[in-house]
A and B are shown apart, each in its own frame.
Chain A
């Protein structure tokens, strides 16, 4: 074994260039896989770092939900419960050892007077006990910390925050910190590896869920069975199956639905009521916690895993080809070894040691590639998404890489090893007996490998082309806005402890201060940030539009500052913009978009009509303007119906996003914004300060990421395939030197010899290309959901890919063909 290793190492170091190419191919192939696997593992595989995570179950409450529903990153609106329902289920436990509730919130923290932003989670007292976690310092919440409502001003810190902000000092226990302006006492620190139960949220602080009204003034829904906002998970007793848990929980849930909740539902059709009565709790595996990220990330990640897998296959084919070529050179050596009495097994072991060693070296090098790839992917993702993931190599990834390397080594080493140890003694002795034949099986195998490589890179090129074109379509979307020189940021004074009436005054001051900054040509604001993926909706009543049960009267809305449309470069179709004079206490006004006017039957005559403020049916708001449809929360989604109220007419607004148009460089504008806001009120942090173009890019980051990565991997695949093609042809020309010499002696001229080699290129490209195109159709279909504005079989993309690959193949074939044509026909006469 050790001797084999030493021999293998010597073999590899004897041909340093070839070994380098091989190691590099492998490093790229394995590295790309490890990087994507790292993301895959984090998003889709890793269980929560808690004892027996397999016992955890996520509960869901699908079915019609009349009333209000608030959902978040922790999962879809289908799964949220009302607070009273959660408490009902929690009270009676038969199959679970604990049932926990949680909900994320945006905290404004103040520690020793210094304002900080972070992420917060409101959790039930049963949260930490259900997870069976032990504190890193102090203690964690118990059920006693969670009752009664609004009474327990206690907080638990996240471990990273404790380490980074307090240097892991135990003296933090008992300290008072301000969360949304209220004083909370720190009672403990969550354990080291634990960062909440929702991927994408890394909690800075945990507070009892019963404190929601304290940290969100105005919240009243602790008793409301028609307000759905709680995410619920539990821990099964060890001997209870998922099915048993489901049955037992529904035995509890169904009577509450039918006896308690059905009477609360009014104004709904019989059909909806029937569906409401049929509601059941769903119970799913909860070992990974609750998050919508895996669901969203699954398709792109699977796609990228597939792509990198293909890249690795192509790299492996190169190595196999290389080993075969080397094996051909060593046929005589193998023959002699066999003649000297070595068994085939011994030779196989030697050769496989060599290929596994090669793969392991490649594997080690691939860790660097994986690291860089991860860092690069990190730069492609917006900061709030990055927070969810670790862009560093973790133990599982290193293991994955090692396993991949060994398997790769065995797979690509096996055929070449089998082949080059097959040389029977007779043929060794007869070697040089004058036939121009070079191992037909090996030649065919090598050609097949290259053809497969061409097919695979064809498929990758097409899919990369599809994503690039999709991205081009995305970047060409007409947003209907002119925001290239606009900088945006958010302010949340109410969260920092200001009351909302004073916040209204503050917002007016902010507007004035921003407008007075040098270079600023326009300032406005909106409650829902523009094109940031957030949206806000409600059902409305509109003059002349008949509402009723089961009639869709939903619209998106926003509250905006004066001059909003002018500032965003949107010319109104009719009526006027929200004006400086639209103030609190004055006549309520709204601007609606065309889709809204169409949906509610207003047409072009929207201006002058009245609508309701939300779900109540008094028509108190007059529509004063009609705007063309412009993008609202997402670049790619179709534009929903939207109405805009005047933000200054609502004194309950706690947070507002501002937009500043300036002719100065973005960095300079950002710096002045920070300075001006700090001077105005240092206790209120500036949030999410960025340029609008960046906000828009982040809105479509997934498109950017997929197309950039798939293009990068496709280029890599094509380069590897080109190397493979080149290597295969170069080797075959070398092996056929004598044969080509004979052909030239028999009268083949240079053009004919070149054509002979290029014909081989053409054949492999044709066969590989056709297979690849067929495969690409499949990929195009599978990836349709990720494509924007094109089908999975875009003719332009397909033909461009075919042209590109043909050009690459011809280029790769050119040198060997030229070399073949330059062979001296004298070679035919050499007989030694």
Chain B
């Protein structure tokens, strides 16, 4: 292997075990997985195979039971809760299946929300970024609306704007089209592709092969294991 720049995301031997009352669920088993800066990766697989679990570990929402995870050269396990929150805020942008916009805040306020958690931005900076982010998803004209007044597709565009407003290192999307009809789903897919073309690193989870094909690389999960990452890359090549 030629020495390239360290991958943005490096996972080695990641496992996740959920222990409930009398049951252990091995949701992830020895995952080895890299994402380079600028890549668009789709994680695909049937329901229950561990996609969301993997994404939540990627996004620092959850900690793995074992293995090593390095984000931009930094071992994540060593981070404190406050540092993890800071990483989520600065380096990661989330797009959820259920949009998860806050109904009591306007579209602009929703997009601004992660920016308000930062101390390095003036109100003017924040306004500026919100305007740009809304512009990128084509929702500027709805800035003063409340989420319930928007259609699902529009809501997901706002959610994308919220995810990109802070210029994160990577966008994580969990079934972003799951709550949308196919037309709106396509539109969101195109939006992600545009963002990737503009340089954004994206990791998207989906159980739908059609959408997975939009990505530059597909990783197939099956029962908590990576099935044949190489195969699909080869298939595309």
Contacts and interface: CB of A to CB of B under 8 A. Distances in A.
A434 B155 contact: yes
Interface string A729-766: 00000000011001111111111100000000000000
A825 interface: yes
Contact of A742 (B86, B102, B152, B178): B102
B94 A750 contact: no
B128 interface: no
A437 interface: yes
A14 interface: no
Contacts of B104: 437, 440
Contact of A436 (B100, B117, B152, B179): B100
Contacts of B61: 744-745, 824-826, 828-829
Contacts of A824: 61-62
A220 interface: no
Nearest to B102: A436
B94 A434 contact: no
Contact of A749 (B59, B81, B97, B152): B81
B88 A831 contact: no
A432 B98 CA distance: 8
A749 B103 CA distance: 21
Nearest to A752: B117
Interface string B84-122: 111111100010111111111000000001100110000
A748 B82 contact: no
The residue in B56, B98, B179 that gathers the most chain A C-beta atoms within 10 A of its C-beta is B98
A828 B100 contact: yes
Contacts of B64: none
Contact of B96 (A440, A744, A751, A831): A831
Nearest to B148: A435
Contacts of A433: 152, 179
A547 B114 CA distance: 90
Nearest to B150: A435
B89 A831 contact: no
B111 to A, nearest CB: 11
Nearest to B165: A746
B46 to A, nearest CB: 17
Contact of B148 (A437, A750, A829): A437
A744 B85 contact: yes
Interface residues of A, number: 27
B177 to A, nearest CB: 12
B96 A829 contact: yes
Contact of B100 (A742, A747, A750, A751): A742
A826 B56 contact: yes
Contacts of A436: 100-103
Interface in A454-498: none
B193 interface: no
B52 interface: yes
Contacts of A434: 98-101, 152, 155, 179
The residue in B85, B88, B97, B102 that gathers the most chain A C-beta atoms within 10 A of its C-beta is B85
B55 A829 contact: yes
Contacts of A742: 96, 100, 102
B99 A435 contact: yes
Nearest to A743: B113
A657 B148 CA distance: 83
A750 B117 contact: no
Contacts of A744: 61, 85, 88
Interface in A306-363: none
Interface in B128-152: 147-148, 152
Contacts, number: 101
B162 interface: yes
A437 B89 contact: no
Interface string A812-828: 00000000000011101
Given A434-B152, A434-B179, A437-B104, A747 B82 contact: no
Contacts of B155: 434-435
Contact of A745 (B88, B97, B147): B88
Nearest to A745: B94
A436 B97 CA distance: 13
Contacts of B97: 829, 831
Contacts of B100: 434, 436, 738-739, 742, 828
Given A433-B179, A825-B61, A748 B94 contact: no
Contacts of B175: 831
Contacts of B84: 749
Interface in B156-190: 162, 174-175, 178-179
B120 to A, nearest CB: 13
A752 B81 CA distance: 12
Given A433-B179, A437-B148, A831-B179, A747 B102 contact: no
The residue in A739, A747, A751 that gathers the most chain B C-beta atoms within 10 A of its C-beta is A747
Contacts of A826: 56, 61-62
B23 to A, nearest CB: 18
Given A742-B100, A749-B86, A435 B117 contact: no
A739 B102 contact: yes
A538 to B, nearest CB: 77
Nearest to B205: A829
B98 A745 contact: no
Given A434-B179, A742-B96, A829-B55, A749 B82 contact: yes
Contacts of A750: 81-82, 85
A746 B103 contact: no
Nearest to A435: B103
B114 A746 contact: yes
A747 B99 contact: no
Nearest to A438: B103
Contact of B98 (A437, A747, A831): A831
A752 B194 CA distance: 34
A435 B52 CA distance: 20
Contacts of A739: 100, 102
B86 to A, nearest CB: 7
Contacts of B94: 745-746, 828
A746 B178 contact: no
Nearest to A825: B61
Contacts of B102: 435-437, 739, 742
B178 A747 contact: no
A746 B148 contact: no
A746 B81 CA distance: 14
A752 B86 CA distance: 12
A748 B117 contact: yes
Contacts of B147: 435, 437
A372 to B, nearest CB: 45
Contacts of A746: 88-89, 94, 113-114, 117, 162
23 contacts: A433-B179, A434-B100, A434-B152, A435-B99, A435-B103, A435-B147, A436-B102, A742-B100, A745-B61, A745-B96, A746-B94, A746-B113, A746-B162, A747-B89, A749-B85, A749-B86, A752-B85, A752-B117, A828-B61, A829-B52, A829-B97, A831-B98, A831-B178
A-B complex: 6 closest residue pairs judged by Cβ atoms: A747-B89, A437-B103, A749-B85, A434-B98, A746-B114, A435-B103
Interface of A: 432-438, 440, 738-739, 742-752, 824-826, 828-829, 831
Given A433-B179, A742-B96, 20 more contacts: A432-B98, A433-B152, A434-B101, A434-B155, A434-B179, A435-B101, A436-B100, A742-B100, A745-B94, A745-B96, A747-B114, A747-B118, A748-B85, A749-B82, A749-B117, A826-B61, A828-B100, A829-B96, A831-B96, A831-B97
